[in-house]
Structure 1
Amino acid sequence: MSALDVVLTPPQRERLRVHLGVPELSGIELTGEGWHRFAVLAPDRVLLLPRSHRWVPGLDREAAALPLLAAYDIPAPRLLGRITDDEFWPYPVTVISRYAARSWAAYENSADLVAVQRMLTGLGQVIADCHSIPVSQVPESIAAPTPHSPDPFEAELRHFVDYLEPGRVEKISYALAEAAGLPGTRVDRWLEVIRPCLDLAPTLTHRDLNEGQIMIGADQQVIGLIDWESAGVQHPLSDFDFGEWGFGIFAWEAEFSTLRRAFWDSYARARGGDLPDWRAVHLLMTIIGAPPPEGLATAWTRRRRQLTVANLRQVDGLV
């Protein structure tokens, strides 16, 4: 029995066949990998089915974002339509184009440092194109920051914008300086260096970039970004936060200075303008990415704390 048979009743499968315009559903797959939706995979399109009413607003945001991205030739899925059919699915279904590609998640376990650096270089260019869209052109429905997730667990997760609260970065910085054996006076320098990063003007961001959203083509290059449910006008560094990623990227935490430099320099070249230096970005993201002392319950988080301190000492010597 396939996932399609498990999730959809026979009448729903018949309605799906009608909507796809196919004589039968062989070769049509359903995946439930996403937290928020099921995806019906047809050869030339994907149907996105919200798992519950809580996730309908996210699909609405994506449907609003995709035409804008298409207008500016951003490599993202194209909106093919929406389906409102209670006999097929109780919530509006979004239909998008399908990439002939795999996500970075399929490659990262076998990737070496050069491959990760190449991927981030390509990703930086794509993000720059998205951030260059004039905010005045963003539809009103996504012209505000992404709201908190309706899922209680997700709502507790920290995002980049959470660190913009007054005093939060300063508090973390003093604790890290002590852990790194550096004088507290260095924090004043850090705050001076990262201030231009914090003051960057809002842009249209994806805000949920991770290994599952980055599509890689046959030539191993980034060819698109998927899952725009969290799109909104917010701080541009929201798209540079490895805290949105899974475990894979942190296998390279000792090399984050190399990776962030490739990531940011690619972005800065493509976007242009007066942007902060990569060292400032690396310093800020190192600070906010540190596992808190109270969260060091596992060997993995304790190791990450050690790597954060080592990275902080290294970048402190550069600024």
Structure 2
Amino acid sequence: MDDEAAVAAVLVATQLKRFREVCEVDGPIEPRFNGATKHVLLADDRAFLFPRNHTIVAQLERECDVYATVDHPLVSKLLGRWDEPAISPYPFFAVTRLQGSPRADRSPEHLRTLAVQLGATLAACHDIGLERVPRRLWANAWSEPPTTPPTAAECYTPLRELGGAERLADAVAPGVGPAARKMLLEALRTVDTMDPVLAHGDLYEDHLLLDASGALTGILDWGFGGVLSPLVDFTCSQWDSASWAVESSYGDLRRHLWTAYAERRSTPLPSWEQVHLALTTFDITALAPETKTHYYWQKSPEWQATRRATAQASLKAQLT
């Protein structure tokens, strides 16, 4: 089936004709149907986003709020919104089309380079002032936004969802001495009280575009973006197992991400050692069978058990 015929899955002939007229699209259209929440029609310089059904409209609205707020060359810009029943029963949107495609290069060199580029880009996005962020984005995608932008104590954080610093320290290191427990608690508390930022919230390889040389050219799908703890973009819980497999050592991917990020942020941040302690604790707790969180939900029980054991060994080494 050619692209023009495939577009009929989103727009039948009469709708397509009206779409071309209203949106001034004369050239070829490339359909993309692999998104979980939306259909995408690609024109030469624009991407048109159509919600799959009525339940997705609010999430797509918040995604486009991000595109209207973030001003960065690796993030699409919102170009337009239409309510046209003759084209679609739901509102649809146009954003700038970013070039590139996801790549399957799993070499350690590529992973390190990608992590550095991604960390630098996240730093620029996270530096956006919260006064510029629409209220719809002041919480995560499944919570009602507060009346004022959240503080560090109020925003969503992965560590707080798992029980907070005291509970995590007791759960992962019940037998350590007073000095080690103090170091772990200090790291957890410091990392968990970072000021909130406009975060992506769902970062993994499929949401990253790269050019032929492997350079990062875009970050897609900000539908779970919101004013959250910066830490949500560093858990890497949705990254593919193959990416973890090429790490030179446990935490290597996140170390390159965080180092590049911290060098470019305009505000003081925890050290990598503190972040490493916190994220190691996160892995141990999030991967515990009894925890039953959404983190790492696509990974096999065998992978989770191996990753958790590696994290436990790493935490022991960090605390001794």
Shorter-chain TM-score range: 0.7 to 0.9
Contact 2:99-2:217 within 8 A present in 1 as well: no
SS in 2 for 1:223: strand
In structure 1, the residue matched to 2:51 is: 50
**Take 2:245 and 2:22, find their aligned partners in 1: how far apart are those partners?**
43
Contact 2:74-2:98 within 8 A present in 1 as well: no
In structure 2, the residue matched to 1:69 is: 70
Structure 1 residue 35 and structure 2 residue 29: aligned? no
**Take 1:183 and 1:3, find their aligned partners in 2: how far apart are those partners?**
60
Deviations 1:92-149 (A, max 9, x none): 101011112113xx23xx321121011011111111111111112223332x122318
Contact 2:139-2:226 within 8 A present in 1 as well: yes
Deviations 1:240-262 (A, max 9, x none): 12114343433246624332221
Root mean square deviation, CA, Å:
2.7
**Take 1:253 and 1:22, find their aligned partners in 2: how far apart are those partners?**
44
**How much identity, in percent, do the aligned residues show?**
30
Moved over 6 A (4+): none
Contact 1:160-1:241 within 8 A present in 2 as well: no
**Which runs of 5 or more structure 1 residues have no equivalent in the other structure?**
151-158
Structure 1 residue 316 and structure 2 residue 299: aligned? no
**Take 1:249 and 1:307, find their aligned partners in 2: how far apart are those partners?**
16
Structure 1 residue 124 and structure 2 residue 119: aligned? yes
The match for 1:115 among 110, 117, 131 is 110
In structure 2, the residue matched to 1:183 is: 176
The match for 2:134 among 139, 151, 155 is 139
Letter in 1 for 2:32: T
1:12 deviation in Å? Answer: 2.6
Contact 1:74-1:129 within 8 A present in 2 as well: no
Deviations 1:240-299 (A, max 9, x none): 121143434332466243322211111111114321111111111121123113369732
**Which runs of 5 or more structure 2 residues have no equivalent in the other structure?**
145-154, 293-298
SS in 1 for 2:85: coil
1:20 deviation in Å? Answer: 4.7
In structure 2, the residue matched to 1:228 is: 222
In structure 1, the residue matched to 2:150 is: none
1:45 deviation in Å? Answer: 1.1
1:85 deviation in Å? Answer: 1.1
Contact 1:3-1:31 within 8 A present in 2 as well: no
Moved more, 215-224 or 15-24: 15-24
In structure 2, the residue matched to 1:86 is: 85
**Take 2:25 and 2:70, find their aligned partners in 1: how far apart are those partners?**
29
**Take 2:247 and 2:37, find their aligned partners in 1: how far apart are those partners?**
29
In structure 2, the residue matched to 1:10 is: 13
Contact 1:74-1:130 within 8 A present in 2 as well: no
